[in-house]
Amino acid sequence: MSVPREKFVCDVSHNCPENCTCIKRPSDSSFNVSCQPGTQDHLPEVLPDDPPPRIGWFHLNFSTSNIQTLEFRPYLMNTTWIDVSKSNLQSIPENTWRTLTKMDHVDLSGNQLTVLPKLLESDSENITFRWLALYDNPLRCNCEDKWIRGWLQSLGQALFVPRYQPLAPAVCGSPDRLWNKNILHVTDEDFCRNYIIEVRVILCRFFVTMRYINSHLPYHTSC
């Protein structure tokens, strides 16, 4: 009985991060690296590799880790699939963002990302994604962030929309007036509206009106 070549897998220990399993598939020289929840607080410096030249791609699962910053690593350029969901991720440097766009699958959901870099909307960068999950991140929705809605819309079906629960593909985490609102439904006016200034204007008009009314009332010495 013959076994298809793609069924063969090999456990790799050299350069495999602690608390992780590294599996090589000889059929395409790919590596699947999967780490136990809560055991990683940064991306590993190195991963398993063949003597150069190496052909193949990394498939990385760092879900439910403690990685707060997704720092750039050279092996990300040879990565086609990455999952860092539910990992307390708070920031991603611009050079890492550029590398993520070359991957087939990028899961950033369930983290603490608040600000997306302007380079994502840059025409010169021409940044897009094949598959991206951003839901359940408390994204900032200030006036300077209104470009995010258009950029998310431009992703089309590449932007993953969760179906197992009523979540939007991306929501606002701040300011409070837009908390948990679907960014795709936030208008430019909503992004830029300043309720504090509006309240001050209303109060100012109220006091001016009251002063005018009082100045035109007849003077009474008694009720």
Count of domains observed in the chain:
1
Q: Where are the beta strands (DSSP E) in the chain?
A: 10-11, 20-25, 30-35, 58-61, 79-83, 105-107, 132-133, 138-140, 171-174
Give the domain extent around 121.
5-194
**Per the domain annotation, does 117 fall within a domain?**
yes
* CB-based contacts of 18, cutoff 8 Å, min separation 6: 39
**Per the domain annotation, does 219 fall within a domain?**
no
**Per the domain annotation, does 65 fall within a domain?**
yes
**Per the domain annotation, does 203 fall within a domain?**
no
What CATH number does residue 40 fall under? 3.80.10.10
Mean pLDDT of all residues belonging to the chain: 85
pLDDT digits over 79-111, tens only?
999 999 999 999 999 999 999 999 999 999 999
Q: Is the whole model's pTM more than 0.85, yes or no?
A: no
Q: Say yes or no to pLDDT of 223 above 50.
A: no
DSSP label at 6?
A: G
What are the angstrom distances between the C-alpha of 22 and each of 11, 64, 173? 6, 17, 36
**Per the domain annotation, does 52 fall within a domain?**
yes
**Per the domain annotation, does 200 fall within a domain?**
no
Residue 125: what are its φ and ψ, rounded to 5°? Answer: -80, -30
Which pLDDT belongs to residue 149?
95
**Per the domain annotation, does 214 fall within a domain?**
no
pLDDT digits over 179-206, tens only?
999 999 999 999 998 755 544 545 556 5
Amino acid at 69: T
**Per the domain annotation, does 213 fall within a domain?**
no
- Contact of 31 with 48, CB cutoff 8 Å: yes
